[in-house]
Structure 1
């Protein structure tokens, strides 16, 4: 489904909130969007803007065309072999100009932010024969300059380092307002250069790409910015990240823009920092990775990254336990699959992992502190965790499963007709 097609679907289903009065891109969009569900602003500095369009599991499942309860199992079965083809034209080519970011409704989300931020742009990079598509936050430095947060070790950063070693620049494009499944694919850890093939697999149909003057291939989008990641660096931040707390200010690479393109009357997509859409796109793609890894060592039934854990730090793994070692193996496998995990809870198949009360019940009746808690001290976690020390932390696994040798003690009984 196209970006506009998905918005029309939300509109037609009565799920889209409309704001028709003028709204400032400086903090007011955040105030009006926070907790609102999908929202469309008709006038943000004269432009249409949408936020929160993938802000819940139900919305993400809607984009995938599946029931929300089937999402993890569905995603765990999808490979990266979808068809991609190059085409000559896209609607974003209707208006081509010199770059001037002041003409776009780029938002300043919170007081104290380092500046206006592009948050939902799919950044497509190319250096020599290698390409990558990923979502990076981009802080506006001027009308044709952006500071890009590139996480060391990730594929875009690898291309940047390779170019830097040769004194060269990385060709880049930023696509804003793309098919939601292309955005999801760009947010997912897949093998190098397979993001658009994965997007096609998610769609169940081919993804079309358009070649820009700098050699980068981009998907259909509302707005496309073309340019180069330079050898220049600039302070980037502060920025409110997925935890709702401020991330660090760092020296990051500068993108120099050479062209700006957009369709007639484009709709700008803003991704609200620490909002539901941020959490869905950053966290949910790890769930099938955990599911697949745990399935190698136990009979996994379901996986969820909890909302209270920012959909990033806390995993619940539901298994059908066959041996007493299964829960510990599942904990190890989950941490292996998602390196930023901090806490892992393993429960039985009779526990509803989407019900916090049921999870607490499992802790209350099936976990014993001196036997069922596993500590992993002084290991690499995430710098986004405010409690970490430069990314180093202690991880915890909890086995809240029933003991197989005395299952009768853990059987849950309900009155006849209420089971």
Structure 2
């Protein structure tokens, strides 16, 4: 499997998986790209888009690269229905990366006065965004004690030619690594890779234990080692197949205003005093292609995070409750679990396991296998008819959650709620569901009873 971003784009243009379009008319990074993406979504279309001419930049822009499950599955070489299985396989069977001596991502090396982030086609998506943001950059860092790499997506606010504001969620791994370095009074070296194959994107979004290295998960997704090349100015390696790399340090004890930004919750969030990246070098391919992930509740922003998130929840919950069959993340901070309940208390155990798997999770709902977890109306019907609040709802108050939850007060402190929407004591002994006999449903043909012009 290719791990090269350009090879991925070429394959998508040839196969048209999920749609592929080129827009030749000039677009503005201020709101116009976001408007085009949004209008396409309103028409229920999520094509991979190449914006060939972007105002103020020489770089073309690729958007919606991870916008559909089918496109991501195709990039990994599996059918869409096998995508979750491949991700869980990668969690369980990581393949370490390998170092290569050179890469096209270092064809051009910019340092000193040649560094200029303002030439990037960084976007403003909504009228609440504080500045242009880099959204598709994967941040690479190493734990100072173990040397284990951490990969994460963090919003990056352009603050000048060589400076970026960064938002790090308290409780997440990058923040923990930065805190270690700050206690030592030292800067944290980071690299930001832009323009990445979907296998790298999914791996960077993997949620797991602190010492679980995402680089191995990427290898598992690809079923081959990720090729990496040493940075020019810092002690890190980055994917050889990326388009652009920013080599940087996050300064200790420096905080500057960052945000607000249009987040996946649908709200402008996170204005505060946050750390700053100082760029030491920019490397890129000749004529680089800039990858963008449209901010806010764009389809890509939501789907690319949800895919590995669901796989992680499934492996975590099944390890405690093997009877769990499937999970879905239908909205921010919310999980629906389908399971064949065997005994009292098992549904609550499944929800507690899910809460333990990811601090972002705030609401968990368990339903019986007869409920379609992809149909929210069906899930609400189960809640309406199988739940008694005192018996079936529990709350874990005042625990750490997402710093991007607009309802949290203070920031990042939230209540977690579990809803057991399974039939009590079990589905077999619950009130029978109304059904027209199957034989009659199969026998009746509407055309035998209705006029042709109905």
Give yes or no for TM over 0.5.
yes
5+ residue gaps, structure 1, are none
- 1:252–1:299: structure 2 CA closer, same or farther, 3 Å change rule? same
- 1:242–1:192: structure 2 CA closer, same or farther, 3 Å change rule? same
Task: Provide, for residues 46-88 of structure 1, a one-character-per-residue CA deviation record: whole Å limited to 9, x for no partner.
Answer: 3211112212333333333334344434433432521311001
- 1:292–1:175: structure 2 CA closer, same or farther, 3 Å change rule? same
Task: Provide, for residues 149-205 of structure 1, a one-character-per-residue CA deviation record: whole Å limited to 9, x for no partner.
Answer: 122333322332222223322222111001111111112124436111110011111
Residue 337 (structure 1) aligned with residue 339 (structure 2): no
- 1:6–1:379: structure 2 CA closer, same or farther, 3 Å change rule? same
Residue 278 (structure 1) aligned with residue 290 (structure 2): no
Partner of residue 304, structure 1? 328
- The structure that is strand-richer by fraction is 1
Task: Provide, for residues 281-311 of structure 1, a one-character-per-residue CA deviation record: whole Å limited to 9, x for no partner.
Answer: 33332222321232213401001100xx23x
Q: State the alpha-carbon separation in 1 of the partners of residues 383 and 200 from structure 2.
A: 38
Say which SS state the counterpart of residue 33 (structure 1) adopts: helix
TM-score by length of 1: 0.92
- 1:400–1:3: structure 2 CA closer, same or farther, 3 Å change rule? same
Partner of residue 385, structure 1? 405
TM-score by length of 2: 0.85
Within the candidate set 94, 98, 112, 2:128 is matched to: 112
Q: State the alpha-carbon separation in 1 of the partners of residues 6 and 95 from structure 2.
A: 22
Partner of residue 234, structure 1? 256
CA RMSD of aligned residues (A): 2.2
Say which SS state the counterpart of residue 394 (structure 2) adopts: strand
Say which SS state the counterpart of residue 341 (structure 2) adopts: coil
- 1:192–1:298: structure 2 CA closer, same or farther, 3 Å change rule? closer
Residue 254 (structure 1) aligned with residue 238 (structure 2): no
| Structure 1 stretch displaced more, 340-349 or 153-162 | 153-162
Residue 44 (structure 1) aligned with residue 48 (structure 2): no
Please report how far the alpha carbon of residue 322 of structure 1 lies from its aligned counterpart in structure 2 after TM superposition: 1.5
5+ residue gaps, structure 2, are 443-454
Within the candidate set 203, 220, 244, 1:223 is matched to: 244
Q: State the alpha-carbon separation in 2 of the partners of residues 172 and 363 from structure 1.
A: 46
Within the candidate set 314, 319, 322, 1:291 is matched to: 314
Does structure 1 retain, via aligned residues, the 8 Å contact 2:361–2:401? Answer: yes
Q: State the alpha-carbon separation in 1 of the partners of residues 195 and 153 from structure 2.
A: 12
Say which SS state the counterpart of residue 354 (structure 2) adopts: helix
Q: State the alpha-carbon separation in 2 of the partners of residues 405 and 117 from structure 1.
A: 50
Residue 366 (structure 1) aligned with residue 417 (structure 2): no
Partner of residue 18, structure 1? 22
Say which SS state the counterpart of residue 281 (structure 2) adopts: strand
Alignment length (residue pairs)? 415
Does structure 2 retain, via aligned residues, the 8 Å contact 1:177–1:267? Answer: yes
Does structure 2 retain, via aligned residues, the 8 Å contact 1:287–1:303? Answer: yes
Within the candidate set 185, 188, 208, 1:167 is matched to: 185
- 1:370–1:122: structure 2 CA closer, same or farther, 3 Å change rule? same
- 1:56–1:320: structure 2 CA closer, same or farther, 3 Å change rule? same
Residue 326 (structure 1) aligned with residue 328 (structure 2): no
Please report how far the alpha carbon of residue 236 of structure 1 lies from its aligned counterpart in structure 2 after TM superposition: 1.0
Partner of residue 269, structure 1? 291
Does structure 2 retain, via aligned residues, the 8 Å contact 1:244–1:273? Answer: no
Partner of residue 229, structure 2? 210
Partner of residue 107, structure 2? 94
Q: State the alpha-carbon separation in 2 of the partners of residues 69 and 352 from structure 1.
A: 16
